[in-house]
Structure 1
Amino acid sequence: MATTTAPTTESLSDAVRRQSMAEAHTIQAMVDYRDAEMARTALIESSLRRKIERSAIALTIGEATGMSEARIQLRLSIADRVRDKTPQVWEAFVDGIIDFSRVRDISATIEKLHREESVARLENRVVGYAADHTGTELRQWLRRFVQRVEADLAVERADAARKDRHVAVAHGDDSMSWLNAYLPSHEAAAIEARLRKEARKPADPDDDRTVAQREADLLVGWCTDSDAATSAIDANIAVTVGADVLAGATPGFAESTDGCWAVPAPWLADVVATGGTFWHRIVVDPVSDDVLAHEYVGRFAPDTLAVALQFLHGVCQAPGCMVPAERCDLDHRIPHPAGPTTGDNMGPLCRRHHNLKGHGLLHWSTSPPAELIVIELYPPTPAVEMEYVAA
């Protein structure tokens, strides 16, 4: 009677490892053939004939493997780079510990590193991480590695790439077109977050558009300033910055919380100043990654701070005004961006008194001895010791 063995996770792992070993064996065979052909053609006296025959090596390998010349050349260049600069990575590939996709990503990272000590650090650490994490996690780890060990060079590359930002339109079939934008990551992330949040707000019962269609319509509305546009758009974006980077001691990056993108820390200053997004800045220890501080650096108060200020003050802070705080605007005593989005610099003002303040007819003022925030109507009385006038 025939018996069957139930598959196990170990057997699946073995199958994947054998597949990786087969990939390595195939690429090694390509390299060996290429090296043999290079040695053979070196004996050809005619330089023109030697050049022609060498140019056909990748084509010959491609015919034998069913791959294009470009794919063959890519594999050969990856193999040369990894074998020469990180032999431990190549050995792990040959042993089936990591597959070719991971080797390819590691090779791309080696190409970005310009210092030998950085490549050595990568070789000593990357195999252990690559073997136990997914390809996506590895790519994020590799990007962070480059940004941390060669932050100065990475910032230079980012500044250079930023100069290439552009928008392209490609008209396609069926009366549709593609709108593509090559943008700094933090700006693209803000656009994405705003689109997603706005498109997922409760819609009219008669609105049968999908979320994707709403996002497309919103983008068109914002770009063309049509009725679909809205000024009441907000989004939460958080970045993590090392304390040494924030202090300006070393060049470095501000990284998104999900690790999908990072930009040179100074890039955020201009965007934060616009006040259109809830920007959170999380300062971490550069060695232990412990959280040292969490700051709100956008214009609008996050939900937790807004609710706390509503509970703290209860009503509009204009003299004698009893409009409930939850129906008021949260106003900066020292106008943003000079003034921070913090509890001691914000308070509720109803829309009427907020407008008066905006026209210079209402002033926030502080009495230093008691450290209590009060509001004076214009013109201020002599008892006011310090006051801040809205711009």
Structure 2
Amino acid sequence: MFESTGVSGSVDALESSLRAHLRELLTASAGGVLAAAVEDLLAENLTELDDDGVLDLVAAGQRMASWAMAAQLRAAAELLDRWTSHPEPAPTRRRPGEPTDEELAHRAVVTEIALTCGMSECASQARVSAAHELTARLPETLQALATGALDWPKVQAIVATTTDLDSSTARAVQAAVLPAAGRQNVPALRRSLARAVIDADPAGADRRHQQQRRQRQVICTPLPEGMGEVWACLPATGMLTVQSALDRLAAASRTPGDHRSADQRRADAFVDVFAETLATATGQDTAAVPSTAAAPPRTPPRGPRRPAVVVTVPLATLTGLARDAADSSPGTTHPTPSTADLAGYGPVPPAAVRDLLATGTWRCAAVDDRHGTLQGLGTSTFTPTYRPGRATERHLALRDGTCSFPGCHQPTRRCDLDHRTPYPHGPTCECNLITLCRHHHLLKHRGGYRVRASTSDADPPGTLIWTTPLGRNHRREPVPLAPPRRQPGLIHAPPAPAAGVPHAPPAPAAARPDPPRPLSDPLPDDAPPF
């Protein structure tokens, strides 16, 4: 008889080698080799790829799109440089107020590209302006786009944030955000950009905030079908105050038999607040003011409780503001304080929250020196029962800030609490609890996603490793509450890429999963908007 074990083993080894080679091709930097591999797979072998290979192909397609966009931008910048450096003189004499020959050449480039590419002149103008910014001031960002490390929406965010900055500040912001930008989604990158702009030019950030603050306004616009729109441009603290108040009023207005959605209750509460205010100011009976609610229940009378607006400020920033307030004599200058962070909004210059800092209720948080992450709020978070106490909830709200799934930015007030290791196999304390929006909470318990705490010394304390159903690992680092302290002699290496994280251990033995548990329960009947 013939033994086929050796032949079978050789075939398996060959298939494994081919899969490894294919993975190497599909994870390469964008360029001709990757384009050829993608073309071959789409033409012949797409159905033969396993799920892992198909996902690699999706990612390869995104990198190729970035590479193609970088090529278009470089070509647009070259055309712009040629036409504006040696513009054709206008056939007629320039009149006062008309564009110069260089400006006319710029417009001609925009129009030419719009016609050739079948895009609007508005879109072409944005593309040409970005091309000029990237080639002239942000070449490293353009190179990251060309290799596929960044996609076009991220590059747009960087360009939009730095356009109004001087060249040195723009480059400082670029240097601050580029190392982590490839691992972030666009909302996270925008937060990093906001923080980097404030850190690079704190005085300018305060000045720009004051300029924008003068533009605050409310606009009411009629809409078709008997509807209307209210649009408000407010300081961040004002926006969060309105949001917090509407959430609480909407939650309090729900009664048995009320089938309105959370959005509908918020909208009705918004109108009811002004109806009651108008009635009080004019002496009119509030019953005469029509309610917008589809159901009889109205928003209950408002109590004295103030809406919660949470701001996190490093101690050095706080003391800097105190010095500024104490010593305002002419000619006295102090180092400009660093960023503050508004929960549910992101980084803001300290001037944006100065009044709030003077009137708020303070809690002192201890942070890790090396990473700036939360260590404690002065109260034990251990609870011997399944339900955590308020001290634990406050700790988690400050530590996590948002849903603990990578890339999700749902604020903790719209999240559930979840035991990473299900209770009673895992304790009820901050060491085993995370905040998850309803969507990612369900994915964890029913979608095959697993989470564990990182054990790597290189990761900040509280880093989570999420493992997808395909076995891929993604890191979620905690957001620092204060700038990390640069310790002498300590090498601050950048975090390892997600692909380098070792695979998670097997899932723990089956135990009772957490039911969705809101951290704070303003709208418990509705899943968060996604």
- Same fold per TM (> 0.5)? yes
Task: Report the Cα offset of residue 238 of structure 1.
Answer: 2.0
Identify which of 179, 188, 208 aligns with 2:259. 208
Distance in 2 of aligned mates of 1:110 and 1:138: 13
Task: Report the Cα offset of residue 200 of structure 1.
Answer: 2.4
Q: Normalising by structure 2, what TM-score?
A: 0.49
Partner of 2:372: 289
Deviations for 1:337-382, whole angstroms, at most 9, x for unmatched residues?
xxxxxxxxxxxxxxxxxxxxxxxxxxxxxxxxxxxxxxxxxxxxxx
Q: Are 1:101 and 2:173 counterparts?
A: no
Identify which of 287, 302, 307 aligns with 1:231. 302
* Greater share of strand: 1
Partner of 2:425: none
Q: Are 1:32 and 2:78 counterparts?
A: yes
Q: Are 1:110 and 2:162 counterparts?
A: yes
Partner of 2:69: 23
Greater CA radius of gyration, 1 or 2?
Answer: 1
Q: Are 1:6 and 2:77 counterparts?
A: no
Task: Report the Cα offset of residue 178 of structure 1.
Answer: 0.7
List alignment gaps of at least 5 residues for structure 1: 296-301, 306-391
Kindly report the root-mean-square deviation, in angstroms, between the aligned alpha carbons of the 2 structures: 3.4
Q: Structure 2 vs 1, CA of residues 131 and 59 (structure 1 numbering), >3 Å: closer, same or farther?
A: same
Distance in 2 of aligned mates of 1:54 and 1:252: 39
Q: Normalising by structure 1, what TM-score?
A: 0.65
Q: How does 1:74-85 map to 2 (within 5 A)?
A: 74-85=126-137
Partner of 1:241: 313
Distance in 1 of aligned mates of 2:184 and 2:144: 15
Q: Structure 2 vs 1, CA of residues 44 and 273 (structure 1 numbering), >3 Å: closer, same or farther?
A: closer
Q: Structure 2 vs 1, CA of residues 53 and 159 (structure 1 numbering), >3 Å: closer, same or farther?
A: closer
Deviations for 1:120-175, whole angstroms, at most 9, x for unmatched residues?
43333432211111111111100011112211110111112112211111112122
Give percent identity, aligned residues only. 23
Higher relative contact order (CA 8 A, sep 6+): 2
Q: How does 1:31-110 map to 2 (within 5 A)?
A: 31-38=77-84, 41-42=87-88, 48=94, 55-110=107-162
Q: Structure 2 vs 1, CA of residues 36 and 71 (structure 1 numbering), >3 Å: closer, same or farther?
A: same
Q: Structure 2 vs 1, CA of residues 41 and 261 (structure 1 numbering), >3 Å: closer, same or farther?
A: same
Partner of 1:265: 350
Q: Secondary structure at the match of 1:132?
A: coil
Q: Secondary structure at the match of 1:200?
A: helix
Identify which of 201, 221, 231 aligns with 1:170. 221
CA contact (8 A) 1:61 1:72 kept: yes
CA contact (8 A) 1:222 1:230 kept: no
Q: Structure 2 vs 1, CA of residues 63 and 210 (structure 1 numbering), >3 Å: closer, same or farther?
A: same
CA contact (8 A) 1:237 1:279 kept: no
CA contact (8 A) 1:240 1:254 kept: yes
Distance in 1 of aligned mates of 2:167 and 2:87: 34
Q: Structure 2 vs 1, CA of residues 119 and 34 (structure 1 numbering), >3 Å: closer, same or farther?
A: closer
Q: Are 1:219 and 2:290 counterparts?
A: no
Task: Report the Cα offset of residue 279 of structure 1.
Answer: 7.3
Task: Report the Cα offset of residue 210 of structure 1.
Answer: 1.8
Distance in 2 of aligned mates of 1:135 and 1:159: 26
Number of aligned residues: 295
Distance in 2 of aligned mates of 1:178 and 1:106: 31
Q: Structure 2 vs 1, CA of residues 144 and 169 (structure 1 numbering), >3 Å: closer, same or farther?
A: same
Partner of 2:418: none
Partner of 2:204: 153
| Counterpart AA for 2:139 | P
Distance in 2 of aligned mates of 1:92 and 1:293: 38
Distance in 1 of aligned mates of 2:251 and 2:161: 38
| Counterpart AA for 2:114 | G
CA contact (8 A) 2:364 2:377 kept: yes
Deviations for 1:252-298, whole angstroms, at most 9, x for unmatched residues?
4421235x3344435545457777xx776758689852559869xxx
Distance in 1 of aligned mates of 2:113 and 2:202: 39
Partner of 1:185: 236
| Counterpart AA for 1:114 | D
Q: Structure 2 vs 1, CA of residues 157 and 44 (structure 1 numbering), >3 Å: closer, same or farther?
A: closer
